[in-house]
Structure formats: C-alpha cells, structure tokens
Amino acid sequence: MNATSLNRKWGWSAIAACNPKHLYVGSEHSRICKSPGKVPANLKWKYWQDHLPNSEEIENQFKYFPESNVCVVTGKVSGIIGIDIDGDLEKVKKQYDWLFLPKTICFKTHRGFRFIYEYNEHCSASKSYKSPEGGIDILSNGKQTIMPPSKHELGTVYRWCSECSTLAKCPNLQLPKTIYNRNENTPKSGVQKTFIPEGERNSRLFKAACGARRHGAEQQDLLELVKSMNKRCEPPLEESVLYTISSSASKYKVSW
Ligand SMILES: [Zn+2]
C-alpha cells in the first residue's frame, strides 16, 4: 500500500520521507538530514504535524521526490498512535502479552515491531520506556512513523504483519519509565522481574508477608521480604510503610 492509498483507506497523514540512500533529495536536504529514510523529504516537518494532506498533495510529493519512503504523522492529525517494541519476534511477543496489548495493525521495522492504534486523548503524549529487551516507544503527537513498503538505511524492508487488519483502540498503558530489571547487576538472562504498580503495592507486599508469616516468618524476616519486594515497586514505598506492613503481618497466627 503506498502513501496515497494509506491516506485514502485510513485518512492518515502520509507524506514523503527521504529516500534511505538520499537519492533525489537535493543538496539542502542532504546537508541538513541526519536520519536518511526517516525525515520529511521537503523538510517541512513542523507544517505536517497538524496539516492533513489531500491525495493531490501526497502524489505531488512523491513525484517531486521519487523513491521516497512513506512517513505517517502520528497523533491527532492522523488519528493514530504507534507502539514500538524493539527486539526479535520472541522478545516482542513477551512484551506484547505482558502489556495486554489488543490485536491491531502492525508491521515489522528494522529493530522490532510497531503496533498502530486508534488515537484518543489519553494517549496524546509521546513517551519512551526502557527495558533490557530494548525499550518501548509510544509515538503520538509530535512524532511520525515510517511505514511499509519503506526501506531502512541498512537495507531492511518495513513489512506489514498479516495477522490483523483492524485498527484497535489505543490501550491505556500505565508504565513506569523503567519497566523491570532496575538493578544493573541483575543478570539479564533468567526470570524477568516484573514491577509492582502503585495501586497494588501495599496489598501485594502485605499478602506476601502474610503468606510467609503462615509458614513461621518473624517480623524481621517479613521486613526483609517486603524490603526486597519494594525494589520492584513503582514508585517504591516509604520505609515506614514497610515497617507497618511487616508488623501487621507478624500479628497473624503461624499456621504451619
Ligand atoms: Zn534525509
């Protein structure tokens, strides 16, 4: 599907991004552009952030800049956001399941996969999250995405995934800046650490402490346990709360 058909079918703001080898882009573009294959060929990035081009404007751009990549402006103007997950298929699938992402249109990029969702106001901000698997980016207002059948500078061709052709609603992602493995010394192989989100911290630490108490753990043991779990809380609980949790749990009867 080329830029005009993306625009006609979905109403997306599809514009010409420079050719990844900088063919036909002109000397001014070559001088300024630092990301071949990813920058609007006519360099009018600001203009395209809130201007939806019509079919004629799109066709003219691709005539003027032949062999251009296809760039779609994300956010309100196109009514979409992109969720970018780095990694090979197996790693991406793990993160995708973990985030409970609904099935939607997606394509393969140079470094991973990009999932396209319907824009709404709760996903208007573009953000980046880090994980040892390579990171997750939310591309919304002020960003763009290169789409198939574009080519990456290093030769990879962006390809549509065939499993899904419907555009799902944007999921409400509440992610911390760093997803897991906050401790640099944690081995990267093996079991992944999962974070404990704000609304679940007290109850999960308390339940874990009560479980250990049933098996005979004393208050000091419980405190060590909740302190250790607190490293995965986003954000971590205050030390005084950890004392309260371990002290409350230690009042329960041992039932081992
Ligand atoms: Zn360029």
More confident residue, 173 or 141: 141
Which of 65-74, 163-172, 217-226, 235-244 shows the lowest per-residue confidence on average (mean pLDDT)? 163-172
- The rounded Å distance from CA 25 to ligand 1 centre is 7
Cα separation values, 91 from 84, 86, 116, 136, Å = 13, 8, 18, 12
Q: What is the DSSP letter of 214?
A: H
- The rounded Å distance from CA 80 to ligand 1 centre is 24
- Summarize pLDDT for 126-154 with one digit per residue, the tens: 888 776 666 788 999 999 999 999 999 99
Amino acid code (one letter) for 144: Q
Cα separation values, 13 from 7, 62, 114, 120, 189, Å = 6, 14, 17, 16, 41
Q: Is the pTM of this model over 0.95?
A: no
Identify the three-state secondary structure at position 184.
Answer: coil
Q: What is the pLDDT of residue 178?
A: 60
- The rounded Å distance from CA 43 to ligand 1 centre is 8
- The rounded Å distance from CA 17 to ligand 1 centre is 7
- Does the pLDDT of residue 49 top 50, yes or no? yes
Cα–Cα distance measured from residue 73 to residue 47, given in angstroms and rounded to the nearest whole number: 11
- Summarize pLDDT for 104-123 with one digit per residue, the tens: 999 999 989 999 999 998 88
What is the second-level CATH architecture of the domain 3-169? Answer: 2-Layer Sandwich (3.30)
Cα–Cα distance measured from residue 179 to residue 127, given in angstroms and rounded to the nearest whole number: 13
